Copies of this chain bind each other. A is one copy, B any other.
Amino acid sequence: MATTSSRRQLGRSVSIVGAGMSGFGAFADKDSRDLFVEAFQDLLDHLDQGMDIEDIECAYVGNYSSDLFEHQGHTAPIIADWLGMTPIPVTRIENACASSGSALREGIMAIASGMYDIVLVGGMEKMTNLPTEGVTDVLATAADALYEVPTGLTFPGIFGAIAKAHMDRYETNLDHLLKVAIKNHVNGSKNPKAQFNVTIRNLMERRVTRAEQRGQPVPDYNSEMDFLNDPGANPWIAWPLRLYDCAPITDGAACVLLVASDIAHNFTDKPVTIAGTGQASGRPLHDADELTSLSAARTAAARAYEMAGVTADDIQVAEVHDCFTIAEIVASEDLGFFEPGEGARALDEGRTALDGDKPINTSGGLKAKGHPVGASGVAQVAEIFHQLRGEAGERQVDNPDLEVGLTHNVGGTGGTCVVNILRKG
Contact = CB atoms under 8 A, between A and B. Distances in A.
A205 interface: no
A67 B70 contact: no
A165 interface: no
A149 B74 CA distance: 13
B114 A11 contact: yes
A142 interface: yes
A138 B67 CA distance: 9
A36 to B, nearest CB: 14
Interface stretch (A2-10, A232-240, A310-318, A321-329): A2-10
A281 B82 CA distance: 12
Interface in A68-109: 68, 70-74, 76-78, 80-81, 85-96, 102, 105-106, 108-109
A382 interface: no
Contact of A281 (B85, B106, B115, B145): B85
Contacts of A27: none
A123 interface: no
Contact of A142 (B74, B87, B281, B416): B74
B64 A73 contact: yes
A133 interface: no
Contacts of A278: 89
Given A95-B92, A280-B89, A415 B115 contact: no
A297 B93 CA distance: 21
B81 A283 contact: yes
Interface in A101-144: 102, 105-106, 108-115, 117-118, 138, 141-144
A342 interface: no
Nearest to A149: B71
A42 interface: no
A93 B91 contact: yes
Contacts of A71: 141, 145, 149
A141 B72 contact: yes
Contacts of A102: 89, 91
A28 interface: no
A77 B282 contact: yes
Given A11-B113, A89-B281, A416 B4 contact: no
Given A93-B92, A281-B87, A74 B1 contact: no
A138 to B, nearest CB: 8
A376 interface: no
A355 interface: no
Interface of A: 1-5, 7-12, 31, 49-52, 55, 57, 64-65, 67-68, 70-74, 76-78, 80-81, 85-96, 102, 105-106, 108-115, 117-118, 138, 141-146, 149, 259, 263, 266-267, 278-284, 287, 295-296, 299-300, 411-412, 415-416
14 contacts: A2-B52, A4-B117, A7-B114, A11-B11, A31-B146, A67-B141, A74-B94, A74-B96, A77-B95, A77-B281, A81-B287, A87-B299, A89-B278, A92-B95
